[in-house]
Every structure is written in structure tokens, then in C-alpha cells.
Amino acid sequence: MSTANSQDNHELGETFTQALGEFEEYLRYEKARSPETLRAYTSDLLELFRFAQKVGLTSPWELELEHLREWLGWGFERREARTTLSRKASSARTFYAWAHGRGKIDTNPALRIQSPKGHRTLPKVLSTQDITQLLELVESDILENPEDVRALRNRAVVELLYGSGVRIAELCGLNLGDINTERRTITVTGKGNKQRTIPVGIPAMSAIDHWIRRGRIQWVHSAENALFIGVRGKRAGARQIRDDLNALLSRATSAGATGAHIFRHTAATHMVDGGADIRAVQEMLGHSTLATTQIYTHVSVDRLQKTYRQAHPRA
């Protein structure tokens, strides 16, 4: 269902609603953006359009650079994170570039919008001991009840996330045919519908095999092709996978409740720590630019410095 027709924007004027609907169709069908990206763009533009109406505008085509700056300044006054403000600026630029390209406006008011420069925050990562502890927790759940389907799924999910560095959405999108047990690889569909094949270790493949043979078979009720399914036999959503992972992380006292995306950060950092070529890590993670991947070299240096300060007598 199109967000442009939802109750969230019932107070928008017809011109705003129509523009949002057309832009959403463009993102979904022409650019093949993920549902998460669609929600982010739509949320940002809904806020922008509501702001436009509050200042007396009747169409998104009436906005000028000053309006956009005022809108972003409003977010700054509310102490929104710089990453949030950068995303909003990007949403506005993308929308107005589309509008200009379609001939809806003569000049693009968003061309000169500057994204706030965020302070680089190094992602948190788990230690190998944390990963071991998490897997021991899941193993204990399975030992207590060998038919615990959720525990079998948790083990496969943790092993695969840590073993491959895939995104949660990519993991949820996996089908049975994407698993090559002979070559020990998985094929994922990432951002922009781009596919990549990733090598996976023996522990992850073993956990996937146990999940398929002992866990998944108990929940599946139809010809569902998804690798990871929920209790109703349908493809598991990102939210339920995150909820299970967060619950698992909260039980691991040394790890704490740090968020499910930490497995991707951890996989990348541990690979760099182990001497992996940064371009190989980039390809594995599906980053479009090397700059995105290079943050993990900074994480590794940061970890090295902490170890040095703690262990070296003359640090």
C-alpha cells in the first residue's frame, strides 16, 4: 500500500499528496528502493510538506531554498542528530532532482542544500568472547529443549550474520535457493536490487542445515521459499529477527543490548583485524564506495590503541 494514501498524511493538500505518491512510485518501481528506504524518504517528505503548509505554501513546487534551510534549521533547534539532518537533506535533494527532471519545476531549490557534517562515530563491535557467549546461550537453550525452533533459528541467524556481515534485511530476503551448501556460499540481494555472492564458514552452514532440517520444517505450512520463517510459516520480518537478537544480546551481560546491526560491524572489524584486504571486505559487505568500508580500519586502529594503552608499560 502506498504511503501517500495512508492516514499519516490525511491532512496534506491534494498537490502534496499527489507529488508524494508519484515520487514513491518512482522510488519503488524505477529505482527499486528497499521498503526501509521508502519509509525513510516518505517520513522526511511528509514532515517537509507539513512544514510547507504551516508556512502558508499550497504546493511542494512553491518551496524555495530559504524554506528548506528553515526546515532543516527547525530540526537542528530540536537537537536532531546530524545523521538525521543529513538524511533529511538527502531526501529533499532526491525529491527535487526528480521533480526537476520530470519538468515539474523550472529550477531545483535543493541544489545548494548542504548536509550537516556529522562527527564520525566509530561503530561498536563485539569481541570474540562476546560472540562465543552469545552462541553458548543459544546452545544452552537448544540443550534444554532440542525442539526449540526459535533457538535453532537464533543460532542460524547469529552464525550467518557474524559469518557473512549481511544486513538484517538481506538475511530476511534469503530464499532456500540462495544457499549453496557445496560451495559454502550465499547469494544476497542488497540495496538497489544488486546481488552478490558471499562465502560462509562451516559453523554457519552447519547451523543453517540444522535450522532447515530440525527447526524450519516444524513451522513451514506451505510452499514458502524463504530461508527464515516465523511461527506462522511465512517469511520472517526484520522486526521479529531484531527483537530476538536484541533479547539475546540483553542476556549476554558482557555484550549488553547494543542493537542487531552490531553483528555486521563486528564481522567487518574482525575481518580487518585478521588482515583481510579492505576491498574484499567492501565487496563482501556490498558497500558502493570504499570510503564507507574504511571506517572499519579506524575501528581496528582504535581497538589496537586501547589494547596498547592497557597493556604496554610505557603507553
- pLDDT tens, N- to C-terminus, the chain (315 residues): 455 444 454 578 999 999 999 999 999 998 888 888 899 999 999 999 999 999 899 999 999 998 998 898 888 878 888 888 889 999 999 999 999 999 999 999 998 887 665 555 667 888 888 899 899 999 999 999 988 999 999 999 999 999 999 999 999 999 999 999 999 999 998 877 889 999 999 999 999 999 999 999 999 988 899 999 999 999 999 989 999 999 999 887 565 556 788 999 999 999 988 888 888 889 899 888 887 788 887 677 666 566 556 665 654
CA distances (Å), origin 232, targets 78, 243, 251: 42, 17, 26
- Per-residue CA distances from 70 to 20, 112, 246, 256, 290 (Å): 21, 13, 37, 39, 33
pLDDT for residue 308:
56
Residue 250: what pLDDT?
Answer: 86
- CA gap 227, 265 in Å, rounded: 23
Residue type, position 214, single letter:
R
pLDDT value for 1: 44
By three-state DSSP, how is residue 229 classified? strand
In this structure, are strands 195-199 and 185-189 parallel, antiparallel, or unpaired?
antiparallel
What b-and-e string marks burial along 37-71, b requiring 16 or more CB atoms within 10 Å of the CB? bbebbbebbbebbebbbeeebebbeebeeebbeeb
Where does 3-101 sit in CATH, by number?
1.10.150
CA distance 293 to 123: 12
SS3 for 179? strand
**pLDDT of the residue at 276:** 86
Domain residue limits, the chain: 3-101, 128-261
Bridge pairing between strands 179-180 and 195-199 = unpaired
Angle between helices 128-144 and 238-251 (to 10 degrees): 100
pLDDT at 5: 45
Q: How far apart are CA 35 and CA 56, in angstroms?
A: 31
Hey, do 3-101 and 128-261 end up sharing a CATH topology, with the first three levels equal?
no
The structural architecture, per CATH, of the domain 128-261 is Orthogonal Bundle (1.10)
State the pLDDT at residue 306.
66
**CA atoms of 62 and 56, how far apart (whole Å):** 10
The predicted pLDDT at position 60 comes to: 95
Enumerate the active-site residues: 167, 191, 261, 264, 287, 296
pLDDT reported for residue 45? 96
* CA 133/CA 143 separation, integer angstroms: 15
Q: Encode pLDDT of 158-206 as tens digits.
A: 999 999 999 999 999 999 999 999 999 999 988 778 899 999 999 999 9
